[in-house]
Structures are given as structure tokens and as C-alpha cells.
Structure 1
Amino acid sequence: MKDYILRFLIAGVMAVCIFLLFLGGRQANAEGPATDKREQMLWTWPAEGVISDTFGTRSGRHKGIDIAGSRGSAVKAALEGKVIKSYLSSTYGNAVLIEHPNGYVTVYAHLDKRLADEGDEVRKGEKIGTMGNTGYSTGVHLHFEIHQSQWTYQKENAINPVAMFGSMKEGDFIAAAHNSGEPAEVNQPAKTMTAAAANKENSVHFVKKGDTLWDIAILYGMEVSELMDTNGLDTITIFPGQELQLDKWEPEPFPKGSAVLN
């Protein structure tokens, strides 16, 4: 009888220990989101522009996000770290890879110019290059990737940047500013009459080499979404010689005696 009671007590103690271990694991997991949120606050957007493609598209082959903007605009380090690669790739074009103290590696591809060399220590928000269209690219944009631990050719360590920047979708405007966990909005130019807008005779813009929807929208005091809607565009890709209609936007008349801005 005593032996039976002893076994029962031992089994009870073991059950309590297992329960406490399980409870501790649950509490540790519950702290995960808070840690992730603090992690988000550390990062900053690497470029200013519009999200033109997101993670996981192209049948899962797209391992980063694309930010379309103006050729030559600043590309900045999303977090402080050390440049582990700065080179010209046949696919990435001009590319910079940065290893960060928290173990992540970020990739900045299709740059027009690289302004950081291998071995450089860079600060968060420091300019490391300019946006371009080099390598395997169909328009001016930054291709940005985040890898958990090392970068590899297979990109098996790539993670969705939403983990660091919050939810995002194609068409979102963002700014290279401190990240709050949500996409930051770019202050769009006011619809001020420009010389180009004032002189357009047929409400048409003929796309020239190097033009982006971002540049054209600024030129005519419009928004990218307006241009896309007016022309029935599903993507921001445009081609030299293409005609873009502008006639859905009617500029407000000038007040008497006002000057046209150049």
C-alpha cells in the first residue's frame, strides 16, 4: 500500500513539473510579438517611391519587394551594419549587401551607382547607392531583400519584409524615413500648375527613355494612381514611345495675374 501511495505522489509531482514547463513555454511565446514589434521600430525604409511588387509573387520566386522611384534617387541602409558585398551582378545589376548586428542580411539591387564598398561600416539611413535599372530589370526601381542569417544564391533564408515594415501592398507610397511598422506615406506634390501641364495641347505625354510614372506624375502635378487609372495600367511598367493620356485631370484655372511655375 505504501509503495502504491509513493508511486502516486511521484506521478503527481512529475505532472506538476510538466505543467509548469508548458506554462513557461506559453508565456515565452506570448512575448514574441512584442519583441517583433520592437524589432520593427529599428528599421527604416531604404528608398522613397511606390511599392511595385511584393514578396512571393512570380510563383514564389520573388524573394523581396520592389520600390519604384526616380533614377538617381537615394538608396539608404535600412539598418546599421557592415557591407559584405558590393559588386556588379548579371541579374542584380549594381548591388550592395549589408550584414547587420542582429544577424540579418539586406540586399539592395539594380542600383544606378554603388556608394558603399565591401568592408564599409554604415549607419542606419546612410546613403549607400542610387536607384537605377541595372541587371535583369524592366524599369527604375530598388529590389530589396531581407535574409535571416546568411544570403545564399538559393535565397532559402529570405523572409517577407512585412515582418520588419508592417503590411504593404502594391501601389503603396512610402518614404525613406523612420519605420513605425506601417507603410509611411509620401507627401504627394500639390496639383500645382506646371509649365508642362499648362502647355500640353492634347493631354498626352509621350514616354521617353528613363521616364517613370513617378517622374511623370510629379511633372503634371498628378498622382501615380491617377495615371494608372486613366490609362488602364495594371503595373507601373512603361515603355519609350508609349502615349499616356492625361485628360481625366483638369487643372484648376489660374487666378488672374498669377504666374506659371517652371
Structure 2
Amino acid sequence: MQDELKRLLHAGVAAVCVSLFFFSATHPQAEGIQGQTDHWIWPAGGEITDTYGTREGLHKGIDIASRLGSPVYAVDGGIITKSYYSSTYGHVVFIKHENQFETVYAHLHKRHAFEGEKVKQGELIGVMGNTGDSSGVHLHFEVHQQQWTYSKENAVDPDKALGSAEIGQAVIAQSRLRKDGSVETAGKLEADEKDSPIAPSSSLYVVSNGDTLFAIAGKTGVSVESLMTRNNLQSDAIQVGQKLRIK
């Protein structure tokens, strides 16, 4: 009887050890992920409209909304493993990075990077769109450890790679979000963002052709809600030449 109990105990301990091994292999700790990705940059500018784990756990990435055609960048250098159109992702690009993470950029309007190509961090790989199973212009961004799979069991919360971001928060393309929540600019912005018409005092923004509140939020780092409150806006409608207070 004692021998039988010992065998059961040993089997139980072994099972727990194996389970912990596989769990740690497929679900690394946040600290470990950030240590490998703390140099990554935000792939697009705009406003966070959805986060990881929503929709009863089925949403395996984050959504960044902005205007149609907004630039989408590689968060780090790597090789394009896939670039195609699907009924769910729409126009989508996959990048395998040297640290063995694979990132996904979905619902693009156009793709500028194709399978087998090598890209650098911050390189333009596409522009934001509303293709596939999408209900509005945005970038759906995913992070997977080792590789993407259909069941997405290797998916990692992008928060762990890019820094914490909440729904309604504005993010700036090609910037880094520090642990304390402040934004660290990295690299030069695309010309249409770098040359945005912000007054020298940086307290006013002059609306230009094609601007939306979502796009302005991404350029300035001020949320849409804050822009509306500071400028007494009743809707997101804005006019070319209009001056918006951003501070």
C-alpha cells in the first residue's frame, strides 16, 4: 500500500513539473518578455480601441485606430514570413524577429512588404485600412512567441512587449512607452507626422487636409476625449484650418 502511494506521489510530482515546464516555455513571464522587447517601437499612431483578451478571451492582440492610409511600421527588424490577403485578417503581414517572436499586422489597406524580404526596425510595411473581418479603420497587432499558429496558443499580450496601454489612450508611431507610462520617442517619424502643423509653443494644432481627431491624437499623444474636452467639441467633426488646443 505504501509503495503504491509512493508511486502515485512521484507520478503526481512529475506531472506538475512537466506542466510547469511547458507553461513557462509557452507563457514566459512579463519581465522576461520586456527584457527582450524593450527596444521595440509602436507600429502605428492613433488611439487604442481594443486590448488583448477581450471578447471572452478570443481577441489575441491590440487595436490601434487612426485615419485610412496611416503608416504602419515594423516594431523591430526581421524577415517577412507571410504577406497575403485573408477573409479574416484582410491584408496582413507577418514578421519573424531575431529574438524568435513573430508579430502580425492585420486589416491593412495596402501591403508594402512581402514574403522573404528583410526589414529594419521602423521600416514602412503597409498602411492602415479596414480589410477582412473589420468594422472600422485600424491596425490589429499581435505578438506570438516562436511562431504564429492557427489556434494562437503562442499569443502574448502586446502590453508585455510595448508597455501598458488602455482603451482610449493615444499612442505615437515609432515611439516607446516606458514602464512609468511616459513616451520615449524613437527614430524619426514619417514625413506626414514629423511635419505636423503644431505651433512653436506646442499648445495649438492647426488642422490640415485629411486630418481626423484619431490621427491628431496619434501625432500629439493626447487622447480623443481630451481633445474634445479641451476644445469644447460636441462631435469628432473638425475643419481644415481649425486650431485645436492640445495643452
Q: Tell me the TM-score normalised to structure 2 length.
A: 0.66
- Cα pair distance change 1:154/1:211, threshold 3 Å: farther
CA offsets per residue over residues 218-253 of structure 1, 9 Å max, x none? 9xxx951147779xxxxxxxxxxxxx8349x9xxxx
Q: Which moved more, 1:147-156 or 1:170-179?
A: 170-179
- Aligned match for 1:63, one of 48, 55, 60: 60
**Cα offset, 1:43, TM superposition:** 0.8
Once residues 67 and 161 of structure 2 are traced to their aligned partners in structure 1, the CA distance between those partners, rounded to angstroms, is: 24
- Cα pair distance change 1:58/1:33, threshold 3 Å: closer
- Aligned match for 1:84, one of 63, 81, 93: 81
Once residues 119 and 181 of structure 1 are traced to their aligned partners in structure 2, the CA distance between those partners, rounded to angstroms, is: 32
- Would you say 1:225 and 2:222 are equivalent positions? no
Aligned to 2:214: 214
Once residues 174 and 77 of structure 2 are traced to their aligned partners in structure 1, the CA distance between those partners, rounded to angstroms, is: 14
Aligned to 2:111: 114
Aligned to 2:234: 245
Q: Tell me the TM-score normalised to structure 1 length.
A: 0.62
CA offsets per residue over residues 48-71 of structure 1, 9 Å max, x none? 111111000011010000011111
- Cα pair distance change 1:227/1:136, threshold 3 Å: farther
Pairing of 1:146-185 with structure 2 (within 5 A): 146-182=143-179, 184=183
The answer to whether the 8 Å contact 2:102/2:146 transfers is: yes
Once residues 153 and 166 of structure 1 are traced to their aligned partners in structure 2, the CA distance between those partners, rounded to angstroms, is: 26
Q: 1:121 corresponds to which letter in structure 2? A: K
Aligned to 1:53: 50
- Would you say 1:72 and 2:69 are equivalent positions? yes
- Cα pair distance change 1:193/1:136, threshold 3 Å: same
Q: CA RMSD in A?
A: 3.5
**Cα offset, 1:177, TM superposition:** 2.3
Q: Secondary structure at the match of 1:167?
A: coil
**Cα offset, 1:36, TM superposition:** 4.4
The answer to whether the 8 Å contact 1:174/1:185 transfers is: no
Pairing of 1:33-48 with structure 2 (within 5 A): 36-48=33-45
The answer to whether the 8 Å contact 2:81/2:95 transfers is: yes
**Cα offset, 1:153, TM superposition:** 1.1
Once residues 64 and 136 of structure 2 are traced to their aligned partners in structure 1, the CA distance between those partners, rounded to angstroms, is: 10
Give the percent of matched residue pairs that are identical in Structure 1 and Structure 2. 49
Structure having the higher strand fraction is: 2
Q: 1:113 corresponds to which letter in structure 2? A: K
Once residues 229 and 176 of structure 2 are traced to their aligned partners in structure 1, the CA distance between those partners, rounded to angstroms, is: 29
The answer to whether the 8 Å contact 2:111/2:126 transfers is: yes
Q: Any gaps of 5 or more consecutive residues in structure 1?
A: 1-31, 197-209, 231-243, 250-259
* Matched pairs, number: 191
Aligned to 2:97: 100
Q: Any gaps of 5 or more consecutive residues in structure 2?
A: 1-28, 186-192
Once residues 133 and 53 of structure 2 are traced to their aligned partners in structure 1, the CA distance between those partners, rounded to angstroms, is: 18
**Cα offset, 1:33, TM superposition:** 7.2
Q: Secondary structure at the match of 1:38?
A: helix
The answer to whether the 8 Å contact 1:175/1:185 transfers is: no
Once residues 138 and 226 of structure 1 are traced to their aligned partners in structure 2, the CA distance between those partners, rounded to angstroms, is: 24
Greater Rg over alpha carbons, structure: 1
Aligned to 1:201: none
Once residues 89 and 205 of structure 2 are traced to their aligned partners in structure 1, the CA distance between those partners, rounded to angstroms, is: 37
